[in-house]
Structure 1
């Protein structure tokens, strides 16, 4: 029987592409997003025989994260694989110009929400002595770029948190993989960047990591477009 994958941010971009690829591989899916229309569009691209549970809510609502995981587990069984993919970059500007309220909002979505998802899925994973948690981060965690201090801080904070959890949960045989995509040509960007990665080019390697032998712990995966030079 295929494992149960829970994906946040599945209504568009990389999250949608991961859901589609996982559907093709026959995984049971639990998908959430903020936009009902966009999430419904994701469902149209899944394999007809996909076993899928969905819900729409804002990730700033912690109680809804835990309720979603609980209901998803009732429908599809315990979560075997969590893929934290939801994220936003809602305030660009120099570090000395960013309002703390804007930084706080990005921290809630890009850092605190993925942590809450982890807290929700970990108890059953610990009991099963098995589980994978994949965090879709960004190459901003690996280098400094002007004008995106708040986004960089929110993604890097999650990265650091998960590196600690990787060590803490090792005895429970729970694997943590940090994925660092470079430039991706999705609706996340205001202008099209055809020279960048497609969402599918990021999704396929992520799903491929699920074939890694249980004795091999893949810590990090960096995926950059060939045209990218800022590293």
Structure 2
């Protein structure tokens, strides 16, 4: 039974990943900032799913380290890490965004996922030695693939992680660590201020990610791009 650690599991794509992974029989370690929402995720898991959850902010290094150590002690080594936590709180022209807002988005969308990978890699490498491979998934965005006005800060934070991962993919190949970068287009989640039913659903994105993980040891899927049929910014 493989063990998945999911950040951002309290809502949206992260919650759907947890729910669907539980139906597939994975062991789960889950974290999210909102304790009430994280509890609702836990309540939605399949009965008898082995899981460990803790509410925290991914920028809190001490809490994050303790969570990872506790999850490993209780559930065993991680086979899969999914970095799903993210924010888009600073919208506006590049010339208008405050440096404080930009730094916060970079901390959540770039620095924290990097830290998660660094903290989990000893366990992932151990799992890869035992099972032939382990996988890191980073949920990015199609903003990494084009430039749209008004979202310079969000684009920069996601693009920074995108390129960091491209380097790590080559560095970790010898350790049999697979690196999957996921680029969703518009997704209709509470992440958005208004409902967009014509966009992708969180459930559809989660299903595609989990399906992509179901490969043999020698198959390394690098990138997964998903766009709603109505989207044409590519």
Whether the 8 Å CA contact 2:11–2:38 is kept in 1: the answer is yes
Question: CA separation in 1, counterparts of 2:206 and 2:212?
Answer: 10
Q: CA deviation at 1:127?
A: 3.4
Counterpart CA distance in 1 for 2:62 and 2:134 is: 23
Deviation at 1:24, TM superposition (A): 0.3
Partner in structure 1 of residue 136 of structure 2: 133
Tell me the TM-score normalised to structure 2 length: 0.97
Native 8 Å contact 2:6 2:81 kept in 1? yes
- Match runs of 1:181-196 below 5 Å: 181-196=184-199
What's the counterpart of residue 90 of structure 1? 89
CA distance in structure 1 between the partners assigned to 2:106 and 2:26 by the alignment:
30
Are positions 1:155 and 2:154 aligned together?
no
Query: How do 1:59-138 residues align onto structure 2 when only pairs under 5 Å count?
Result: 59-128=58-127, 129=129, 130-138=133-141
Partner Cα separation in structure 1 for residue 21 and residue 156 of structure 2: 30
For the Cα contact (< 8 Å) 2:80–2:124, is it kept in 1? no
The one-character-per-residue Cα deviations of 1:100-145 (angstroms, maximum 9, x if unpaired) are 1101000111011111110011112223433100000000000001
3-state SS in 1 of match to 2:85: coil
The two structures, once aligned, show a CA RMSD in angstroms of 0.8
What corresponds to 1:22 in structure 2? Answer: 21
Distance 1:125 1:198 in 2: 29
* Residue of 171, 175, 179 corresponding to 1:176: 179
- Structure 2: give runs of 5+ residues left out of the alignment: none
Does 2:43 correspond to 1:40?
A: no
| Whole-angstrom CA distance in 1 between matches of 2:213 and 2:222 | 12
**Off by >3 Å, runs of 4+ in structure 1:** none
Q: Confirm or deny: 8 A CA contact 1:66 1:116 kept in the other structure.
A: no
Structure 1 distance, partners of 2:29, 2:63, is: 14
Question: d(CA) in 1 for partners of 2:114 and 2:230?
Answer: 33
Q: Distance in 2 between matches of 1:230 and 1:210?
A: 27
Secondary structure of 1:66's partner? helix
Normalization by structure 1: what TM-score? 0.98
Spell out, residue by residue over 1:136-161, the C-alpha distance to the aligned partner (whole angstroms, 9 max, x if none): 00000000010000000000000100
* Secondary structure at the counterpart of residue 5 of structure 2: strand
How far off is 1:18 after superposition? 0.4
- SS of equivalent to 1:111: helix
Structure 1 residues 54-63 or 217-226, which shifts more?
A: 54-63
How big is the shift at 1:209?
1.4
- Give the aligned partner of residue 144 of structure 1: 147
Equivalent of residue 200 in structure 1, options 189, 200, 203: 203
Q: Is the 8 A contact 1:65 1:116 kept in 2?
A: no
Matched, 1:164 2:167: yes
* Secondary structure of 1:222's aligned partner: strand
1:61 and 1:54 map into 2 onto residues whose CA distance is 16
